[in-house]
Amino acid sequence: MMVVVVIIAVLSAIAVPGFAKRLRGRHLLQVAGRMADVYRGARTRALGRGAAVVVSLNLATGAFQALEGVQGTAAATASGATRATCGNLPTRGCLTNDWTNVSAGAVVGTARVVDSIPSASITAKVTLPSGTVQTSGVVGVCFSPAGRAYITTSTAPKTPDVWQALNGAAVIDVTSTDPNNLTVRDYQVIVMPNGTTRLAP
């Protein structure tokens, strides 16, 4: 009986880490696939609604969200203003919109969250078209109603000078690590200059 118990314990010790690693790899694939879907959906929404849409990735916190530009006025964004005081209409500009003025509750801002992914236990880095690797800060990709893609690493993208036309692929490397700090898997979400997005292992 003791021999059987010892054998079961040994087999469990061997099998559990491999099973856990496989689960983390599967979760990572789901997260990377969802990220690619958000980029695709943002471009489709921009083309369909005639509104600029920004996908923002915070490399420090893992926060990932899509923001649609909406029209807001000083009266609409003032404290206590409600959505009734301003129609939630799309706005055109990737470059002209204040993407930091996000609507919350009843207040109408100049951007609203249309999609997001909760922060997950992943690590991401972004290789910009210039070849620079971004491992901290915020990386934003904006899709214009005409299908053009712009990119910024500014944490406060309010002015046109912080946005650059996406003239090469932006590659988001999504990785996960196990408790021993060994990389489990790496997936790449690739945003192309024409705004299309694909997922690569």
Specify the pTM: 0.78
Residue-wise pLDDT tens digits, 13-47:
565 555 455 556 677 788 888 889 999 999 999 99
Residue 158, sorted as left (phi over 0), alpha (psi -120 to 50) or beta, turns out to be alpha
Is residue 3 very low, low, confident or very high in pLDDT (cuts 50, 70, 90)? confident
Residue spans of the domains in the chain: they are: 2-200
**CATH number of this structure's domain 2-200:** 3.55.40.10
Residue-level pLDDT at 38: 92
Please tell me the distance from the alpha carbon of residue 106 to that of residue 39, in angstroms, as a whole number.
27
**Helices (DSSP H) in 68-155: which residue ranges?**
74-77
Residue-wise pLDDT tens digits, 138-182:
899 999 888 889 998 887 676 667 888 888 888 888 876 555 545
Regarding predicted confidence, which is higher, 123 or 188?
Answer: 188
In terms of Cα–Cα distance, which of 52, 85, 47 is closest to 70? 52
Place of tokens 């800060």: 137
Q: What 3-state class would DSSP assign to 167?
A: coil
Of 82-96, 102-116, 180-194, the poorest mean pLDDT is in 82-96
Residue-wise pLDDT tens digits, 78-98:
555 555 555 556 776 788 888
Contacts of 169 (CB under 8 A, 6+ apart): 129, 190, 191, 192, 193
